Structure formats: C-alpha cells, structure tokens
Amino acid sequence: MNDIIRNPDLLNDETKSLWVKQEGIIVIYRLPFQLFETRRSPERQKYLFSIGATKIEDATGNHCTGDAWDVAKWGKDGWSWKDEDVFWYQVLGILTVNLIANIKWGADWNGKNFWYDEKFRDYGHYERVRI
C-alpha cells in the first residue's frame, strides 16, 4: 500500500503554518528530516491501524482531517525509523514543542511532558492543538 501523501497544502491552514515553522527548525539546525505524511485516506488509516502503526482506526484521526503530519529521518539509506535514530527524533521534538506553541508531539501521548510515552511512541508525529 503506497498511498502516502506528503503535500503540506492538504493540511488545514493553521496546521500548515505549524508545519512551516517546524520546517524552519529543520533547515536552521540542519536536522536530517523531511516531511513524510500529511493527509491520509480512510483506507490508509485503517491499514496503519491493522499493523499497529496508529491507535485510531477510522477517519476521525487528525491525519484524515488535515490536522497532523509526520516527519521521518532521511539519509543516504533513505527513510529511517531505527532505534539508533531516536536521538535525532528527540532533538527535533524537543526543539519543536519548546519553540512553537500549539503543537502536540507523538512522543508524549501520556501528557507527562517527558518525551517518552511508555505505551505508544510516535516520534515523527505532530499535530495541531486546538485551543
């Protein structure tokens, strides 16, 4: 299944503005990341749920509504989510949540602000916090 959408223009306006700010962090600090996924189809959401890559099964998830995006480490070997890359994901995540307001990071689903969720680590996931 290769229906990954990387187009930031498909994000809601407020969410896209947050992505643009994070993209600035990636560029300024020369971090090895690229935008990996923005809006998801309901079919892709169900597929990702079936393989344990998301906790939301249906189209109510923030990716399906244009309120979330994923980044992934990019290097000479392509996309990477290896355990040894966690350091880079944490660097980007910590910079992002400390420099940009109204962003929830997938490493903190439990809300402990510790950047390590015991149950579900989604280091490349970011979403807009609705105020």
User: 3-59: per-residue pLDDT in tens?
Assistant: 788 999 999 999 999 999 999 999 999 999 999 999 999 899 999 889 888 888 887
Q: Would residue 2 count as lying in a domain?
A: no
For residue 31, what is the domain's CATH number? Answer: 3.30.1380.10
In which domain, by residue range, is 57 found?
8-128
For residue 106, pLDDT over 70 is answered with yes
Q: Would residue 34 count as lying in a domain?
A: yes
For residue 131, pLDDT over 80 is answered with no
Q: Would residue 3 count as lying in a domain?
A: no
Among all chains, which residue has been given the structure tokens 């997938």? 106
What is the tally of structural domains in the chain? 1
What is the share, in percent, of the chain residues with pLDDT greater than 70?
89
Contact 18, 128 (CB under 8 A): yes
H-run or E-run covering 104: strand 103-105
Q: Would residue 49 count as lying in a domain?
A: yes
Q: Would residue 1 count as lying in a domain?
A: no
Q: Is 22 helix (H, G, I), strand (E, B) or coil?
A: helix
Q: Would residue 100 count as lying in a domain?
A: yes
For residue 99, pLDDT over 90 is answered with yes
Burial class (CB in 10 A: 0-12, 13-18, 19+), 92: buried
Name the band, by pLDDT with cuts 50, 70 and 90, for residue 82: confident
What number is the average pLDDT over the span 70-75? 94
